[in-house]
Amino acid sequence: MSVRITLQSVTKSFHNRKSIFAPVQAEYRSGEVIAITGSNGTGKSTLLKIIAKTLQPTNGTCMWFENDSTVNEGTYHSLMGFSAPYLNLYDEFTADEHCKLNCSLLGIPFQESRADELFSMFGLTKRKDDAIKTFSSGMKQRVKLILALQHNPQVLLLDEPTTNMDTKGIDTLYAVLEQEKKRTPLIIFATNEQSDIDFSTSQLALQSTSI
């Protein structure tokens, strides 16, 4: 399966103001690892949300293609894994329950073997049945990454994926992503972390339009 995402003159403005970034023209394909970079306020997270189809651009288009056919609107989420520090987890749910709920929301079968594989990779096997409220911020970030990865997505969108993670957690993340690259997904970071940029195959540097 091959996925392609095209951005045609994409801009985004809020409250009828100037676009927060200059028009974006780009095309990305399966197997690439992209780092969206830029100073604070240039719209890295905003552009990632546009790519994820959770936010509409003010101008331009974001198109998804699967094997050169346009992706149907209801199919995006099954193809995509999305992780961001601002996504909320349910305090009373366990990590394992989050995985089951996530699959239910995506409309796909829960694969316990895949969830257990990821819990093992991220060092959470012994904590998978514990309530999220007992987790540290770094552990919660690892759970969010597991939720993004558990259904083997063709497109992986990661907003500041190393947030709240210590050196060991960061090393684990890159080891997991290195393993995931064998499936040749399209991976897109929104980041200014040099380690994310170094892991990427190319970079999209957003230019601010603010005065």
Q: What is the pLDDT of residues 128-159, one digit of tens each?
A: 999 999 999 999 999 999 999 999 999 999 99
pLDDT of residue 203: 97
95 lies in some domain = yes
Mean pLDDT for the chain overall: 95
Distance of CA 85 to the CA centre of its chain: 10
Q: What is the pLDDT of residues 87-110, one digit of tens each?
A: 999 999 999 999 999 999 999 999
Q: Using 50, 70 and 90 to split pLDDT, how confident is the model at 74?
A: confident
For residue 161, what are the domain limits?
3-205
At 65 the three-state DSSP class reads strand
211 lies in some domain = no
pLDDT of residue 210: 63
| Dist CA 179 CA 154 (whole Å) | 14
Which token pair is 201? 């195959």
Cβ–Cβ under 8 Å, residues 31 and 50:
no
User: Structurally, how many domains does the chain consist of?
Assistant: 1
Q: Residue 183: which CATH number?
A: 3.40.50.300
pTM above the 0.85 mark?
Answer: yes
Q: State what percent of residues in the chain have pLDDT above 90.
A: 88
Q: What is the pLDDT of residues 157-183, one digit of tens each?
A: 999 999 999 999 999 999 999 999 999
